[in-house]
């Protein structure tokens, strides 16, 4: 039992958030606590050995929590469920007594494990009332659901979650929202949908009780100083988070011209290379003697256990900004005499990635905290100011949540098929592509697997494994209004679902460096899944 393992490891000396959730296992909860407060273990204590689902915003953070629970607590009775989880199962070392990748994947899709780590799109399909999605609501009816970092989602997904929580609660299911920030507007929407604090759930904010002093902010209006970043990277662990992949690639190229110890992580790498980079950034963070520079995008924001000395970041809405801050001085290793969070107000990604109203409100309210220790209590005040319900009613963010909640209310049973739900959940239609350089390097593998897949008597297990082998050499690309992006073949590789692309791809496997897939011209960063 994982609960016994956690209790034994911690010796019963729990942190405040862990103690609280351990004592309220029968309640629905909304828990706000800073990064490093032990929320993951607290959530597992709250599940208390019952059937549980632990959801996160991104695949990378789901993978990290899955691996952490398996390795840190030696707990094997756990499943991982997202669009690439079969690939993770394939790569896991396996003893003779353990299930194979196909069996693990099937078990995960049947929601059969005592504990499942998942992205929300895998569980909340029932909100669309499509035939075949009832299994998700039926399982959540007698399970405990953990939602990690709910504020990280788009308005559409937030509306989906809120509508789903109302359904689950009425059926008798339990939920716990655990987050570093909880905008008051979300509490307002929960109340509107019959989920009222004090009646349907208990809320506890541990941020106001925290005495940690980890961050000091400086806001820059000028251009990014490459020389300064390089100098910092020669003696410290430096993290730079960009709002768009194109900006991250550009910055990487400029810094790489000055220093070799710079690495790049974003969503435009093929899955194999991205997995390598995700492991590398976590290993780099753990190495006390390491120094260098990592440039990333939003994919490191949520639940990735990394800790850098200095954070440079482009300005973004306050909830994302606070998440990014959690990747710097996470364990309060030092008192920041000088600014260790440098924020660039260059408006990159406004409208294409972020709501412009929230961006501006976040910037305006941030200025009062510049050049002072930015305490956890101040961070709560900051998020409450930006997301003040009365003041954001006219913003696109608020109106979109409102519109989607109304949309779900009016939706009829069988308006959607199960296949349509998969596309609709993220409101994005995507294709799978392989860069020509990668295809040509592994052409023999592609041709042999294509030939095997053509055979009529191939089993499902073998088919899944072969497709997954190819999948590791691909990445997802979104369609623009149903049209293929420039440089992508119309036809798929024979007997597969994969399109070739002549867009340049750059990655050195030995050095673990490169820019990934490079677009011919800058497009919205929405063209790739995070």
Place of tokens 């349509």: 420
- At residue 303, the pLDDT reads 62
Whether residue 397 is contained in a domain is answered as no
**What pLDDT does 528 receive?**
38
Range of the domain at 465: 428-527
How would DSSP label each residue in 164-185?
HHHHHHHHT-EEEEEES---HH
Give CA torsion, residues 243, 245, 247, 253, to 10 deg.
Answer: 140
Mean pLDDT, the chain, integer: 90
- The 10s digit of each residue's pLDDT in 295-325 is 999 999 876 789 999 999 999 999 999 999 9
* H and E: helices and strands count for the chain: 21, 19
Of the ranges 308-317, 382-391, 423-432, which one carries the lowest mean pLDDT score?
423-432
Number of domains comprising the chain: 3
Average pLDDT estimate for 363-370: 97
CA of residue 418 relative to chain centroid, distance: 24
Per the domain annotation, does 393 fall within a domain? no
Note whether 180 and 237 are same-domain residues: no
Q: How confident is the model at residue 421 (pLDDT cuts 50, 70, 90)?
A: confident
For residues 246 and 352, the answer to whether their CB atoms sit within 8 Å is no
pLDDT band with cut points at 50, 70 and 90 for residue 428: low
Cα 449 from chain centroid?
31
The pair of three-digit structure tokens given for residue 195, joined into one six-digit string: 């989920």
Which among 168, 186, 207 is the end of a domain? 207
Long-range pairs for 449-455 at CB < 8 Å and ≥24 separation?
Answer: 449/496, 450/493, 450/494, 450/495, 450/496, 451/495, 453/495, 453/496, 454/494, 454/495
* Max avg pLDDT among 120-134, 270-284, 338-352, 482-496: 270-284
Q: In what order do the strands lie in the sheet with 430-435?
A: 475-478, 430-435, 498-501, 488-492
Same domain, 306 and 203: no
For residue 480, what are its two tokens?
């623009």
Q: Is 213 helix (H, G, I), strand (E, B) or coil?
A: coil
Q: Is residue 95 in a domain?
A: yes
Model confidence band, residue 530 (pLDDT cutoffs 50, 70, 90)? very low
Mean pLDDT calculated for residue range 507-525: 83
Q: How far apart are CA 313 and CA 324, in angstroms?
A: 8
Give bridge partners of residue 505 from the DSSP assignment: 517
Q: Is residue 401 part of a domain?
A: no
The confidence band for 477, taking pLDDT boundaries of 50, 70 and 90, is confident
Last residue of some domain: 175, 207, 239?
207
| Residue 470, pLDDT above cutoff 60 | yes
Which of the residue ranges 60-69, 268-277, 477-486 has the most confident prediction, judged by mean pLDDT? Answer: 268-277
Q: Are 201 and 195 in contact (CB under 8 A)?
A: yes
- Give yes or no: residues 284 and 367 share one domain: yes
What's the whole-number mean pLDDT along residues 495-515? 96
pLDDT of res. 131: 82
Q: What pLDDT sits at residue 527?
A: 40
What pLDDT score does 223 carry?
87
**Average of per-residue pLDDT across 331-338:** 93
Last residue of a domain, one of 340, 374, 408: 374
pLDDT at 392 over 90: yes
pLDDT per position as a tens digit, 170-220:
999 999 999 988 999 999 999 998 899 999 999 999 988 788 899 999 999
Same structural domain, 159 and 11: yes
SS (H, E, C) 475-524: EEEECECCECCCCEEEEECCCCCEEEECCEEEEECCCCEEEEEECCCCCC
Answer yes or no: do 331 and 446 share one domain. Answer: no
Do residues 332 and 307 share a domain? yes
Quick one: 146 and 286 in the same domain?
no
Same domain as 355, residue 304: yes
The pLDDT of residue 41 is 92
Q: What is the DSSP letter of 71?
A: H
Domain assignment present for residue 370? The answer is yes
Prediction pTM value: 0.89
To the nearest whole percent, how much of the chain has pLDDT over 70? 96
- Identify whether 414 is part of a domain: no
- pLDDT 10s digits, 90-125: 888 877 667 888 889 999 999 999 999 999 989 998
The per-residue DSSP string of 84-122 comes to THHHHHHHS---TTSPPHHHHHHHHHTT-SSEEEEEGGG
457 within some domain: yes
Q: Round to whole Å and give the CA distance between 251 and 528.
A: 19
What percent of the chain lies above the pLDDT cut of 90? Answer: 67
- Is 352 in the same domain as 454? no
Kindly state the helix (H) or strand (E) to which residue 240 belongs, with its residue range. Answer: strand 237-241
């Amino acid at each position: 039992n994982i609960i016994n393992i956690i209790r034994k490891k911690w010796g019963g000396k729990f942190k405040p958030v862990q103690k609280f959730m351990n004592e309220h296992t029968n309640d629905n909860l909304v828990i706000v606590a800073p990064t490093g407060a032990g929320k993951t273990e607290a959530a597992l204590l709250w599940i208390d050995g019952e059937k549980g689902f632990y959801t996160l915003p991104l695949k990378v953070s789901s993978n990290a929590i899955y691996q952490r629970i398996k390795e840190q607590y030696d707990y094997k009775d756990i499943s991982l469920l997202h669009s690439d989880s079969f690939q993770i199962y394939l790569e896991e070392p396996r003893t003779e007594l353990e299930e194979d990748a196909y069996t693990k994947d099937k078990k995960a899709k049947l929601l059969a494990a005592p504990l499942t780590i998942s992205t929300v799109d895998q569980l909340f399909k029932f909100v669309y009332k499509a035939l075949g999605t009832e299994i998700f609501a039926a399982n959540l009816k007698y399970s405990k659901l953990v939602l990690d970092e709910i504020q990280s989602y788009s308005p559409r997904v937030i509306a989906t979650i809120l509508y789903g929580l109302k359904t689950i609660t009425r059926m008798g299911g339990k939920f716990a929202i655990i987050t570093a920030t909880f905008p008051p507007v979300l509490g307002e929407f929960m109340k509107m949908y019959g989920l009222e604090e004090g009646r349907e759930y208990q809320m506890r904010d541990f941020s106001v009780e925290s005495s940690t002093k980890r961050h000091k902010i400086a806001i820059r209006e000028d251009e990014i100083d490459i020389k300064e970043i390089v100098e910092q990277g020669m003696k410290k662990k430096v993290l730079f988070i960009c709002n768009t992949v194109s900006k991250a690639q550009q910055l990487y190229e400029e810094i790489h011209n000055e220093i070799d110890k710079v690495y790049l992580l974003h969503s435009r790498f093929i899955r194999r290379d991205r997995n390598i980079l995700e492991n590398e950034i976590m290993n780099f963070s753990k190495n006390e003697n390491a120094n260098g520079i990592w440039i990333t995008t939003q994919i490191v924001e949520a639940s990735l256990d990394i800790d850098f000395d200095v954070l440079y970041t482009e300005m973004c809405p306050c909830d994302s900004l606070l998440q990014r801050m959690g990747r710097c001085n996470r364990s309060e290793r030092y008192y920041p005499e000088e600014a260790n969070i440098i924020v660039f107000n260059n408006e990159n990604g406004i409208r294409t990635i972020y709501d412009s109203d929230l961006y501006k409100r976040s910037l305006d309210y941030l200025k009062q905290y510049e050049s002072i220790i930015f305490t956890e209590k101040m961070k709560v005040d900051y998020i409450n100011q930006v997301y003040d319900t009365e003041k954001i009613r006219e913003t696109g963010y608020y109106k979109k949540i409102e519109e989607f909640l109304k949309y779900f209310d009016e939706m009829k049973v069988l308006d959607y098929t199960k296949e349509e739900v998969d596309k609709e959940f993220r409101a994005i239609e995507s294709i799978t592509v392989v860069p020509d350089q990668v295809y040509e390097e592994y052409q023999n593998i592609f041709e042999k697997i294509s030939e095997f897949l053509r055979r009529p008597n191939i089993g499902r297990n073998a088919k899944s494994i072969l497709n997954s082998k190819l999948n590791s050499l691909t990445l997802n690309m979104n369609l623009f209004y149903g049209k293929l992006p420039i440089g992508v073949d119309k036809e798929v590789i024979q007997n597969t679902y994969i399109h070739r692309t002549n867009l340049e791809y750059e990655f050195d496997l030995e050095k673990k460096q490169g820019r990934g897939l490079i677009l011919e011209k800058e497009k919205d960063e929405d063209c790739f899944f995070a």
